[in-house]
């Protein structure tokens, strides 16, 4: 299979060359990882019927719930250790119903988070959360040792957001954005 990617780094704010280089390294690492993922192909002749339940691994999807599925999402792997991925960021959106943590990003420097333009298009995040291991409990602790806990999460204010100027939801092109934090981490 062939993967084609083109980037147009036309940001409205000039970012440092180091940040752009780090972002490219992250993206290339993700591409290398996704090429190693097992894939399943189903060949279907035009006009024939397919029973997806028989052909695909639909048993991996929750059958009785709709919407968010909060159960274990690890398939064929292992749970991450506390603070194993300290660069992982959650984007927090505050609304009338409370706070939602609906999008993710990657901390790429002391003040910047790389995320998708999708995450800052319709709703703008109010803060960035670092250090969250499990959404929900007040304290993230090791399952086998309750005294082994992660430091408290950090909710960081956003200074500004730069979305790629050519972002297009359909067909999902240039889906990249940078969030500058008000203070260094």
Domain count, the chain: 1
85 falls within a domain: yes
77-128 confidence digits (pLDDT tens): 777 788 888 899 999 999 999 999 989 999 999 999 999 999 998 889 999 9
CATH code where residue 102 lies: 2.40.10.10
Q: Is residue 59 part of a domain?
A: yes
Residue 28 lies inside a defined structural domain of this protein = yes
Q: Is the pTM of this model over 0.85?
A: no
Burial of 154 (0-12, 13-18, 19+ CB in 10 A): middle
Domain assignment of residue 12, yes or no: no
Is 128 inside a domain boundary?
yes
- Sort residue 146 into left (φ over 0), alpha (ψ -120 to 50) or beta: alpha
Q: Which domain holds residue 33?
A: 17-181
Q: State the burial class of residue 52 (Cβ atoms within 10 Å of its Cβ: 0-12, 13-18, 19+).
A: exposed
Domain for residue 6, yes or no?
A: no
């Amino acid at each position: 299979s062939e993967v084609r990617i083109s980037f147009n780094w036309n940001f409205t704010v000039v970012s440092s060359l180091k940040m752009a280089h780090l972002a490219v390294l992250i993206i290339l690492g993700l591409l290398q990882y996704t090429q190693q993922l097992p894939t399943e192909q189903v060949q279907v002749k035009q006009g024939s019927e397919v029973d997806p339940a028989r052909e695909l691994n639909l048993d991996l999807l929750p059958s009785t719930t709709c919407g968010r599925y909060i159960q274990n999402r690890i398939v064929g792997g292992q749970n991450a250790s506390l603070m194993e991925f300290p660069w992982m960021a959650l984007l927090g959106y505050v609304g009338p119903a409370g706070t939602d943590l609906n999008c993710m990003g990657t901390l790429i420097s002391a003040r910047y988070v790389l995320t998708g333009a999708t995450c800052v298009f319709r709703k703008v995040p109010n803060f960035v959360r670092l250090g969250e291991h499990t959404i929900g409990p007040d304290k993230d602790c090791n399952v086998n040792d309750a005294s082994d806990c992660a430091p408290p999460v950090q909710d960081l204010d956003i200074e500004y957001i730069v979305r790629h100027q050519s972002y297009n939801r359909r067909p999902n092109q240039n889906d990249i954005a940078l969030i500058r934090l008000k203070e260094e981490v």
